[in-house]
Amino acid sequence: MSLLEKIHKPQDLRALTYAELKQLAAEIREEMIRVVAANGGHLAPNLGVVELTLALHRTFASPKDKIIWDVGHQTYVHKLITGRRESFKTLRLYHGISGFPKRAESEHDCFETGHSSTSISAAVGFAKARDLTGDDYHVVAVIGDGAMTGGMAYEALNHTGHNGTSLIVVLNDNEMSISPNVGAMSSYLNRLRTDPRYDKRKADLETMIKKIPGIGSKVAKAAEKAKDSLKYLLVQGLLFEELGFTYLGPIDGHDQMLMEQVFELAKQKKGPVLVHVVTRKGKGFGPAQNNPDVFHGVGPFNSETGEIPKKSSPPTYTQVFGDALCELARRDDKIVAITAAMPTGTGLGLFAKEFPQRFFDVGIAEQHAVTFASGLALAGMKPVVAIYSTFYQRAYDQVLHDVCLQGAKVVLAIDRAGVVGDDGPTHHGVFDISFLRVIPNLVLMAPKDENELRHMLYTAMRHEGPTAVRYPRSTGQGVELDEDFQGIPIGKGEVVRDGRDLTIIGVGPLVNTCELAAHELRHRGVDAAVINLRYLNPLDRELILRYARLTKHVITVEDHVLSGGMGSAVLEILADEGLSGVAVERLGYPGFVDQGSIPILHQAYGLSVKGILGAAERLHVGRRAARS
């Protein structure tokens, strides 16, 4: 029996020797590599926190003590040692365990995290609740250096330091978020990691002070001032101590014994403590260690060689977007591109190489990215902000207030719109239509295929106002790409198939599914029209009303939640017009969507040919067609 098989709860770790812990760490890495190679997942971040996680669970008593993980994609080790080893093989699968903390899974998951920079705020909440109720437990927030580029982290640090709340922040410094970190904080942490002078000279000074016999109060104060002067001279003020934290570190995040000693020291301190731990992303698996950005979030791969299978499939929407933006930027030197720590994931890698002076990675700071873009636009540039749909939620006020209210010519490229698969509810982009279509000045569109995406990006760049284009994570439809760009009239949909018995209104790539369903319905004697809506704001009101009056039956199909989505917008138009006697069936998601592959989720929620046929039967369209 392996050591890992003997670990059923965190308390089991305390019986192990340090030699056994080293063996356990190796077994954990082997298990994670095996499962992620089969299922895909976030490998490199988890390989880097094996010893850190073991040290945390040996020092703190979860679930009484609260361990809160920022972002949450580095919790695989945590799951393996908190009773989920046997179910770990289902990681990220439909109805399996989540790749992120999930309260319903375990009492050891006290806070759910999928977005970045939230852990310290949550930790302050737990700590304050503890103090108010007179309870007695430790609160630990584990946050990566990449997450420290997010402003929310500093809001929480400022609040914590001001109030002197007792909690521990573990800064997991691996020098990366997904892509290499950028900004002043990254440079600051690098100086702390690499400057050997501080620790040595501080130790020399302390030794000298200890040798002075009978130090009086004045000498002690002078010595303390001398220590402070040296500290500020060598590490430029120690930002965290200025914020009210006791700073411990930097320490080796792979030295099990050292981390446990420092965590024990941190537990004894009153007030907030920050422990700076330096880890290596991908540690223990050569391919992930050498290419941590590739193995940050990776699909299935060869567990022996690390080789990722190459798929001969159409380019993804992300790739088509990136290529099209470069084409447009070659023609117009005012076009600039902005991303929030996701240059590769958003398809901007080529743009960054070709136009380095016009590319801006602002770190994990979506709010800043959008307002920064507004400033650029109002000063005459043409910014394109590429961010995943789920992360645009973090910048809603900036989109509404700083971009749209002022009519700034900003293009919002909304990647990963719709369900994204195995990352689950924290990452599905199924709310953006609802929160964006209500903004008056914003033109919102969604392409049915990759060729239409090119034309929509071109249309957005020509429009004198704010625009947004939403597109999915998946590969394209495999259609031929036009050699040149074409403008698409603002607010005009497209009839891709005519019909008199039923109107199927689709948006985005699901239009193709609508066409397949209409073809099947034709064999069943139902003449179904298919509309590619294209624009979600403004809607093609005239087109919707014309076909609603003609067919009297409407099915709306969207990769989005039903509440406030495209189907809701169609119902609003019919209600505003006072058009009664039209039966409407909406297909979409009723709320939060669990993890699972995109095809499985589409089938489960009726966004499939079978689902559309079922909706037609519920509307009794077949019976009507047979009688007519």
Could you write out the DSSP letters of every residue in 142-177?
A: EEETTGGGSHHHHHHHHHHHHHT---EEEEEE-SBS
Per-residue pLDDT, 151: 86
Q: Which residues contact 349 (CB under 8 A, 6 or more apart)?
A: 322, 343
pLDDT of residue 512: 98
Structure tokens at 606: 């009726």
Q: Which residue is catalytic, options 394, 448, 470, 473?
A: 394
Give the dihedral of Cα atoms 237, 240, 243, 248; nearest 10 deg: -110
pLDDT at 140 over 70: yes
pLDDT tens, position by position, 245-267: 999 988 999 999 999 999 999 99
**Read out DSSP for 567-594?**
HHHHHHHHHHHT--S-EEEEEEESS---
Domain that holds residue 524: 494-627
- Which CATH number fits the domain that encloses residue 622? 3.40.50.920
235 in Cβ contact with 191 (< 8 Å): yes
| Confidence grade of residue 298 (pLDDT, cut at 50, 70, 90) | confident
Q: Are residues 388 and 264 in the same domain?
A: no
pLDDT for 168 beyond 60: yes
The domain that contains 185 carries what CATH number? 3.40.50.970
**Residue 311 located in a structural domain:** no
CA distance 47 to 52: 10
Average pLDDT, the chain: 90
Does 577 participate in catalysis according to the annotation? no
Contact 528, 616 (CB under 8 A): yes
Two structure tokens written together for 308? 């990722």
Q: Are residues 453 and 334 in the same domain?
A: yes
Q: Is 128 considered catalytic here?
A: no
Domain end position, chosen among 437, 470, 503: 470
**Side by side, which strands form the sheet with 335-339?**
359-361, 335-339, 382-388, 411-415, 467-470, 443-445, 535-537
Which of 31, 112, 175, 366 is flagged as catalytic?
Answer: 366
- pLDDT for 195 equals 52
Q: What is the pLDDT of residue 538?
A: 97
State yes or no: pLDDT of 292 exceeds 90. Answer: no
Distance CA 110, CA 104 (A): 10
- Percent with pLDDT over 90 in the chain: 78
Query: In the annotation, is 358 catalytic?
Result: no
Pair 500, 562 in one domain: yes
- Burial degree of 253 (CB within 10 A; 0-12, 13-18, 19+): buried
* 600 is a domain residue: yes
Which runs of E-coded beta strand occur in 367-410?
382-388
In a domain, 485, yes or no: no
- Amino acid identity of residue 543, one-letter, is L
Residue 312 within a domain: no
Q: What are phi and psi of 126, to 5 degrees?
A: -60, -45
Q: Three-state DSSP class for 116?
A: coil
Q: Supply the DSSP string of 524-538, one letter for each residue.
A: TT--EEEEE--EEES
Exposure of 85 in the CB half-sphere (CA atoms within 13 A) = 18
> Could you tell me if 334 and 271 lie in one domain?
no
Same domain for 462 and 506?
no
Q: Check: CB of residue 248 under 8 Å from CB of residue 265.
A: yes
Chain position carrying tokens 């195995």:
422
Range from 74-88, 112-126, 305-319, 592-606 carrying the lowest mean pLDDT:
305-319
Cβ 390 vs Cβ 362: under 8 Å = no
Do 370 and 506 belong to one domain? no
Share of the chain above pLDDT 70, in %: 89
Quote the number of domains for the chain: 3
Q: Is residue 553 part of a domain?
A: yes
pLDDT in tens, 474-529: 999 999 999 999 999 999 999 999 999 999 999 999 999 999 999 999 999 999 99
- What is the band of 297 on the pLDDT scale with cuts at 50, 70, 90? confident
In a domain, 198, yes or no: no
Set 92, 280, 281, 409: catalytic member: 281
Domain assignment of residue 207, yes or no: no
Judgement on whether residues 370 and 252 belong to the same structural domain of the protein = no
pLDDT of 271 > 60? The answer is yes
187 and 278 housed in the same domain:
yes
Residue after which a domain boundary falls, among 262, 283, 304 = 283
384/432 same-domain check: yes
Q: Are residues 123 and 271 in the same domain?
A: yes
Q: Are residues 91 and 132 in the same domain?
A: yes
Report residue 294's pLDDT band, with 50, 70 and 90 as the boundaries: confident
**Among 3-12, 62-71, 169-178, the least confident range:** 169-178
The pLDDT, as a whole number, for residue 148 is: 84
Mean pLDDT value across residues 223-234: 43
**Are both 115 and 247 inside the same structural domain?**
yes
Q: Is residue 481 part of a domain?
A: no
Local confidence band at 197 (pLDDT 50, 70, 90 cut-offs): very low
